[in-house]
A and B are shown apart, each in its own frame.
Chain A
Amino acid sequence: MHETNWGLLIVIYLFLGGLSAGLFFAAGLANYLRVDDKPIYARVARMGALLAPWPVAIGSGLLILDLGNWYRFYKLFMHFRWESPMSIGSWLLTIFTLLSFVYLFAWLTEAERTWIFAKVPASWKLVHRLNVDISSWRETLAMIGFPFSIGVGIYTGVLLGAVSARPFWNTNLVAQMFLFSALSSGAAALLFAMLMDRKNPIEKHETKFLVTLDVVFISLELFIILPYLIHGELSTQAVKAALGLILGGPFTFIFWGPFLVLGLLAPLGIEVYELFPAIFKGREFHGSRNLALAAASLVLIGGFLLRYIFVYAGQMSGFHSKMGLLQ
């Protein structure tokens, strides 16, 4: 077995980063979709925009703390190295985080802005000059932000997938797997937040929108996991040995039970069940609050577990040549 260098801090960051990407994406999409020219998902968009920057901001903080010398993190921005997924990722991450904060700002009401700037001392004239209404920038910001959010969602997978030394990761499917997981986690988080907002209770069409989004992304995720497993089993010895970690090895239960069944199949099932009458029988979407909450929570757990399994199992995998590692 090989050493574990990246631990829980990294797992949490990968989850939070993906979460923000998914939130931003859902928010942007929600704002973009019009039905009869009406922005019926505007509330969804606003909630997403308000939530999006925070997970990744916290995650980035954890990332910096995980460094050997945290105060050296600025060095990441003194270089741009095409071949290093971490280099590209740090830039993507930073730009995305900044953008998502600006996007958040674009969705603040006048009252909210006033409340915030009231906290800033009057003498900080430069800061007060930022108290402008940029709500007209929303579409533009979303448009600029989309590729960055996709980038953040994908690069966390590339970070792992690009490492040829870790056969558990070294497949071109990992990037998409993480992306779709991020997008579904984002949609689920948004759904969860809106369901928990007692002051502005969620409306059926909003639930339906987010549930549909979630169903799509979970399905896409499943469509990636399946070939990952099948092709992996038909691949070289190192890959097969790596997959052994989830096919009989120490991560088997957590992969098939909590992750696949609880984290993917169960919420998918619930959501399909909810959508079933609407889609196939032309009847009303169920919109049960409890079921939606359950589904959203399970998706979030699944998203976290995906990263947990990949980060730990991946580091355990390697080229088990006949020599063991012993001092």
Chain B
Amino acid sequence: MGTIRMDRRLFLKTAGATAGAVAATQVGCLKYFKKGRSSAADSREIPTTCELCPNKCSAIAVVEGGLIHKLNPNPENPKSRDMLCARGNAAIKQVYDPDRIKQPMIRVGARGEGKWKPVSWDEAFDFAAKKLSETKDKYGPQGTLWSSTEGFQEKFFVNLGQAFGSPNIVRHPTLCLASVNLAYGTTFGTVPSFDLLNSKYVIMAGANRFESIITPDTMDLIGSVMERKAKLVYLDPRFTVTAAKADEWYPIKPGTDMAFILAMINVIIAENRYSKDFVSAYTLGFEQLAEHVKPYTPEWAEKETEIPARDIVRIAREFADAGARALYYSGRRSSWYQNDFQMRRAQAILNAIVGNWDQMGGMVPNSTLPKGEFLFMPWDEPKAPRVDEVKTEFPLAAASDGVYLKLRENVLANKPYPIKAWMVYKQDPMNALPDQSKTLKMIEQMDFIGVIDVQMSDMAWYADVVFPESAYLERTDPVEVMPGIWPAVVYRQQVVKPIHDTKPNLEISQGLAKRLGLSDYFDYTIDQWVEAEFKDLPIPMAAEHMKKHGVWAASGQPKYGATLTPDHRFVTKSGKIEIYSDRLKDAGYDPLPVYTPPVQPPSDRFRLILGRVGYFTHANQSNNVWLHEFMPENDLWINPVPAGRLGIKNGDYVNVASSVGTVKIKARVTEEIRPDCVFMLHGFGKKSKMQSLVYNVGASDAVILETAWDKVSGNAAFHETFVKVSNA
């Protein structure tokens, strides 16, 4: 037998070589895994203000190695209450979205075909200015439409439109909150905030605060309900997250909120539970109200709302007994039904009679803070009347905002005069307006469409030229005051230089202005503008403070009751809180809310209702990869009973058809909705290929929603569409 002997030297050599080889791979691996992150020394923190929704929360951007790594909440902003929601955190992916518009582009194919030619800014500006001038020559400056949505830089776009001489500036409020603002404004002279932090009894109807995030309302409400033990009564045809957290939820019959409110008023007055002192000292029209609500009994309301009369009575009592700390929450997106204005008026009146005005836990008029103004050269008022005839048709509506749906109707009919050019800022009318076929027709009528946006929205996709706006993290914006119970001044400063060839809206407006001969009106920089605003801020060393902290708020407790003095004059015709409104009467509207039952869908159809989730903002965040992960595709909520009848199973694709369009969407068969309603989320079924995550994925509600509006405020009515649902 041979034994195996090893030459020691040879062994060591072999072992050494092996070890060396292993070590080499080890080092290779280390290099492979070393994160390309710079050291802590490279890290900077820059405070700014978020722009991913209208709440304007304060955030602190952490930049490492020139890249935005994280956004942290800024505890110094009382409105955003030291938090940052999913969208705020996901703003990073808005900046680094591969689908972003990276330079100006001019359309080369047909509108909507998606053939684009990248161009220089000069070429884009020249092209747009030429087209706008042509339109002006043929149709006058009023032949151009300037539509925009709120934002810190919106004013430059609006100013440009006005300087151009067009009266046709239209903004988003009549797609959103025009009716609630007008209703509360008509009653109280101002739109108050709701002190949910200190409230003891809250009734919320359809305002799904736990998914439709409004700061600080959402955060204050969850704390009040779960910690401070406020009672939350919630009315909604859907079992939303708010319903899940509420103490009581009623699947109210859609469109009958006014019946519920009037019955509550009926009970409160009949049982003398209203605040007599408050009513007599500050309000006008109580006697008319008392007479007016007599027929609106709880028993009557039960038939309308499908909420048991005894619950209505009990809730009315509990509400009134909570007195100044009871709130019937106004809601925000009030574009529901054609009677929305009057319904919100009923809300306002209910709030008024329990005396929760300007009290802790009640409705509190907003405090504000002074800020400087940059003075620039003013232009002449446009000569022509508005194309949407607001002053004649909607005399009480805010003329400067316009009435969007009426405007579209008029434009489509070319009356009172044609609109042939359309400039759009930060808005996607293709998805924001109901009945997309009408929007497409309107687009067809235009000789020119120019869109300014960060991403290639559906509207931008159909434009002739797109001007890419820099994302909020890439720009410095005007200073803004956020009024409220805890007012704050916020600042947005550039965190990183634009990573693509994009410009802030001011520079885009200036570029256009120059070629339109309007340079004089825009002869300043953003820094100059901001410096002027810093000047009058009530902060020592304002500029330094705002650049270092991003926000300033007054310390101390909010002031309640400032308006509850005998000589206080409310900003109404009478100087008092107008329960009965002469102003409404004079304009030809009901001075007190009169109930009309909503039109019911025929038995084979459903009412389509809309709503929100906490990780999308309307229709414009669904392409953000970090948010899209939570809902890759939208679906249609349908109750199992009608679904069974129609042979629809969970996950089946269904056709949803209204009188204006049809879409195909996945069905979510759920108990969490009334059998007579269906629900879908916004922001899907996009036509823009540069929204690649949602291009052709899911369905767009804009395609099937029908056009309707509230006749007093002009606010869109989005819940008046009846649809047929069938297996696809």
Residues of A within 8 A of B (CB): 69, 71-72, 74, 126, 129-130, 132-134, 136, 327
Is the Cβ of A133 less than 8 Å from the Cβ of B29?
A: no
Among residues of B, the one whose C-beta sits closest to the C-beta of A132 is: B2
The interface residues of chain A lying within 8 Å CB-to-CB of B10 are 126
Is the Cβ of B4 less than 8 Å from the Cβ of A130?
A: yes
* Docked complex Cα distance between A277 and B4 (Å): 51
Given contacts A132-B1, A136-B1, 12 further A-B contacts (CB under 8 A): A69-B29, A72-B29, A74-B22, A126-B7, A126-B10, A129-B4, A130-B4, A132-B2, A132-B3, A133-B1, A134-B1, A327-B630
* Docked complex Cα distance between A81 and B227 (Å): 48
Is the Cβ of B2 less than 8 Å from the Cβ of A71?
A: no
* Docked complex Cα distance between A126 and B3 (Å): 12
The interface residues of chain B lying within 8 Å CB-to-CB of A327 are 629-630
The interface residues of chain A lying within 8 Å CB-to-CB of B629 are 327
The interface residues of chain B lying within 8 Å CB-to-CB of A130 are 4
Min C-beta distance of A189 to chain B, whole Å: 31
The interface residues of chain B lying within 8 Å CB-to-CB of A132 are 1-4
* Docked complex Cα distance between A72 and B22 (Å): 10
The interface residues of chain A lying within 8 Å CB-to-CB of B5 are 129
* Docked complex Cα distance between A129 and B4 (Å): 7
* Docked complex Cα distance between A126 and B25 (Å): 27
The interface residues of chain B lying within 8 Å CB-to-CB of A126 are 6-7, 10
* Docked complex Cα distance between A326 and B79 (Å): 31
Min C-beta distance of A108 to chain B, whole Å: 15
* Docked complex Cα distance between A203 and B61 (Å): 81
How many residue pairs link A and B with beta carbons under 8 A? The number is 22
> Secondary structure of the B side of the interface?
loop
Among residues of B, the one whose C-beta sits closest to the C-beta of A129 is: B4
Is the Cβ of A71 less than 8 Å from the Cβ of B25?
A: yes
Min C-beta distance of B569 to chain A, whole Å: 54
Min C-beta distance of A141 to chain B, whole Å: 14
- Chain A CB within 10 Å — which of B1, B10, B29 has the most? B1
The interface residues of chain A lying within 8 Å CB-to-CB of B22 are 74
Min C-beta distance of B459 to chain A, whole Å: 31
The interface residues of chain B lying within 8 Å CB-to-CB of A136 are 1
Min C-beta distance of B23 to chain A, whole Å: 11
The interface residues of chain B lying within 8 Å CB-to-CB of A72 are 29
22 examples of A-B residue contacts, CB within 8 angstroms:
A69-B29, A71-B25, A71-B29, A72-B29, A74-B22, A126-B6, A126-B7, A126-B10, A129-B2, A129-B4, A129-B5, A130-B4, A132-B1, A132-B2, A132-B3, A132-B4, A133-B1, A133-B2, A134-B1, A136-B1, A327-B629, A327-B630
Contact with A along B1-27 (1 / 0, CB 8 A): 111111100100000000000100100
The interface residues of chain B lying within 8 Å CB-to-CB of A133 are 1-2
The interface residues of chain A lying within 8 Å CB-to-CB of B7 are 126
Contact with A along B368-381 (1 / 0, CB 8 A): 00000000000000
Among residues of B, the one whose C-beta sits closest to the C-beta of A133 is: B1
Min C-beta distance of B194 to chain A, whole Å: 32
Among residues of B, the one whose C-beta sits closest to the C-beta of A136 is: B1
Min C-beta distance of A174 to chain B, whole Å: 35
Sort A-B residue pairs by CB-CB distance and give the 5 closest, nearest first: A132-B2, A71-B25, A130-B4, A74-B22, A327-B630
* Docked complex Cα distance between A151 and B256 (Å): 74
Contact with A along B93-134 (1 / 0, CB 8 A): 000000000000000000000000000000000000000000
The interface residues of chain B lying within 8 Å CB-to-CB of A129 are 2, 4-5
Among residues of B, the one whose C-beta sits closest to the C-beta of A137 is: B1
Among residues of A, the one whose C-beta sits closest to the C-beta of B3 is: A132
* Docked complex Cα distance between A74 and B25 (Å): 11
The interface residues of chain B lying within 8 Å CB-to-CB of A69 are 29
The interface residues of chain A lying within 8 Å CB-to-CB of B29 are 69, 71-72
Min C-beta distance of B683 to chain A, whole Å: 18
Among residues of A, the one whose C-beta sits closest to the C-beta of B6 is: A126
The interface residues of chain B lying within 8 Å CB-to-CB of A71 are 25, 29
Min C-beta distance of A7 to chain B, whole Å: 24
* Docked complex Cα distance between A72 and B30 (Å): 12
* Docked complex Cα distance between A129 and B2 (Å): 9
The interface residues of chain A lying within 8 Å CB-to-CB of B1 are 132-134, 136
Min C-beta distance of A226 to chain B, whole Å: 40
* Docked complex Cα distance between A327 and B4 (Å): 61
* Docked complex Cα distance between A134 and B3 (Å): 9
Min C-beta distance of B338 to chain A, whole Å: 38
Min C-beta distance of A13 to chain B, whole Å: 23
Among residues of B, the one whose C-beta sits closest to the C-beta of A75 is: B26
The interface residues of chain A lying within 8 Å CB-to-CB of B6 are 126
* Docked complex Cα distance between A132 and B629 (Å): 64
* Docked complex Cα distance between A93 and B630 (Å): 43
Among residues of B, the one whose C-beta sits closest to the C-beta of A72 is: B29
Min C-beta distance of A78 to chain B, whole Å: 10
* Docked complex Cα distance between A69 and B22 (Å): 14
The interface residues of chain B lying within 8 Å CB-to-CB of A134 are 1
Min C-beta distance of B668 to chain A, whole Å: 13
* Docked complex Cα distance between A134 and B1 (Å): 7
* Docked complex Cα distance between A53 and B442 (Å): 77
Min C-beta distance of A103 to chain B, whole Å: 16
Min C-beta distance of B615 to chain A, whole Å: 11
* Docked complex Cα distance between A71 and B21 (Å): 12
Among residues of B, the one whose C-beta sits closest to the C-beta of A130 is: B4
Among residues of B, the one whose C-beta sits closest to the C-beta of A126 is: B10
* Docked complex Cα distance between A327 and B629 (Å): 9
Min C-beta distance of A15 to chain B, whole Å: 30
Min C-beta distance of A123 to chain B, whole Å: 14
Min C-beta distance of B303 to chain A, whole Å: 39
Among residues of A, the one whose C-beta sits closest to the C-beta of B631 is: A327
* Docked complex Cα distance between A130 and B2 (Å): 8
The interface residues of chain A lying within 8 Å CB-to-CB of B25 are 71
* Docked complex Cα distance between A126 and B5 (Å): 9
Min C-beta distance of B201 to chain A, whole Å: 32
Min C-beta distance of B237 to chain A, whole Å: 24
* Docked complex Cα distance between A74 and B24 (Å): 13
* Docked complex Cα distance between A132 and B7 (Å): 17
* Docked complex Cα distance between A71 and B4 (Å): 30
Min C-beta distance of B704 to chain A, whole Å: 28
Min C-beta distance of A325 to chain B, whole Å: 14
Min C-beta distance of B627 to chain A, whole Å: 12
Min C-beta distance of A64 to chain B, whole Å: 14
Min C-beta distance of A44 to chain B, whole Å: 25
- Chain A CB within 10 Å — which of B2, B7, B10, B629 has the most? B2
Min C-beta distance of A230 to chain B, whole Å: 37
Among residues of B, the one whose C-beta sits closest to the C-beta of A327 is: B630
The interface residues of chain A lying within 8 Å CB-to-CB of B630 are 327
The interface residues of chain A lying within 8 Å CB-to-CB of B4 are 129-130, 132
* Docked complex Cα distance between A133 and B2 (Å): 8
Min C-beta distance of B624 to chain A, whole Å: 15
Min C-beta distance of A324 to chain B, whole Å: 15
* Docked complex Cα distance between A136 and B1 (Å): 9
* Docked complex Cα distance between A69 and B28 (Å): 13
The interface residues of chain A lying within 8 Å CB-to-CB of B2 are 129, 132-133
* Docked complex Cα distance between A132 and B611 (Å): 82
Among residues of A, the one whose C-beta sits closest to the C-beta of B10 is: A126
* Docked complex Cα distance between A74 and B18 (Å): 12
* Docked complex Cα distance between A60 and B112 (Å): 57
* Docked complex Cα distance between A126 and B8 (Å): 12
* Docked complex Cα distance between A130 and B5 (Å): 9
Min C-beta distance of B630 to chain A, whole Å: 6
Min C-beta distance of A314 to chain B, whole Å: 28
Min C-beta distance of A186 to chain B, whole Å: 29
Among residues of B, the one whose C-beta sits closest to the C-beta of A134 is: B1
Among residues of A, the one whose C-beta sits closest to the C-beta of B2 is: A132
Min C-beta distance of B394 to chain A, whole Å: 45
* Docked complex Cα distance between A327 and B2 (Å): 66
Min C-beta distance of A85 to chain B, whole Å: 25
Among residues of B, the one whose C-beta sits closest to the C-beta of A69 is: B29
* Docked complex Cα distance between A129 and B22 (Å): 27
* Docked complex Cα distance between A327 and B626 (Å): 12
* Docked complex Cα distance between A327 and B631 (Å): 9
Min C-beta distance of B31 to chain A, whole Å: 13
